[in-house]
Amino acid sequence: MNRKDWELLNGHKAGVFWFTGLSGSGKSTLAQQAEKELFKQGIRCAVIDGDQLRKGLNIDLGFSEEDRKENMRRAAEVASMFLDLGFIVLVPMISPSSTAREAIRYRFQSGEFAEIYVQCSLETCEQRDPKGLYKKARKGEIREFTGIDAIYEPPKHAELTVDTEIYNMESSVNLLVDFVTHNYAKKI
């Protein structure tokens, strides 16, 4: 079977949505909440979370630039498998390098991929610090932490920007779900 067969069975088009932003910006929460809303609408979707991948498939990778690229490459390959099964695929990963994100974008064909920038200031992310990682990075317990001693390059051409300092989670989810359903997960 090919993707068109799966899309017909699912009743909607497939697509990969790559969430990028600082730790604590709300990427994973946004993806998980959007998955629930899309499911309610009968849209088959999957979340491929960067943190979860690092606990299993990518457990052998560190946080060097090369390891981050490999982490993203593996996530893109998993996303591609779900895409071929006709899913909407939500991939929340920090993805700090614009060059690495562009390489992921070019892995997919036109119309299959959208970059979602979950925008939030470093100050707000540090205040949120849901995993206590910023505190550890500031103490020097974590090296090469994005936003502290490793660079984060915001996207210049994201298909959608969701500013989680302006929008609460419900509004952010609605914005994302509307974007997905109107542009990608069109009923067929």
75 — pLDDT class (breaks 50, 70, 90): very high
> Across the chain, what does the average pLDDT equal?
91
62: pLDDT strictly greater than 70 = yes
Query: Which residue, 24, 3, 25, 23, is CA-closest to 12?
Result: 3
pLDDT of residue 63: 76
23 carries an active-site annotation: no
pLDDT tens readout for residues 79-119 = 999 999 999 999 999 999 999 999 999 999 988 999 999 99
Q: What is the mean pLDDT of residues 14-22?
A: 96
Q: What is the mean pLDDT of residues 151-173?
A: 95
Residue 28 has pLDDT above 90, yes or no: yes
Q: What is the pTM for the complete model shown?
A: 0.92
> In this predicted model, what pLDDT tens digit does every residue of 155-164 receive, in sequence order?
999 999 999 9
Has residue 188 got a pLDDT over 70? no
Of the candidates 23, 25, 95, 97, the residue annotated as catalytic is 95
Say how many CA atoms lie within 13 Å of 177 toward its Cβ.
21
Contact 28, 51 (CB under 8 A): yes
- Cβ 14 vs Cβ 83: under 8 Å: yes
Residue 130 confidence (pLDDT) above 70: yes
| pLDDT value for 87 | 95
| Cβ neighbours of residue 13 closer than 8 Å, sequence gap 6 or more | 7, 86, 184, 185, 186, 188
C-alpha to C-alpha distance for 61 and 68, rounded to whole angstroms: 8
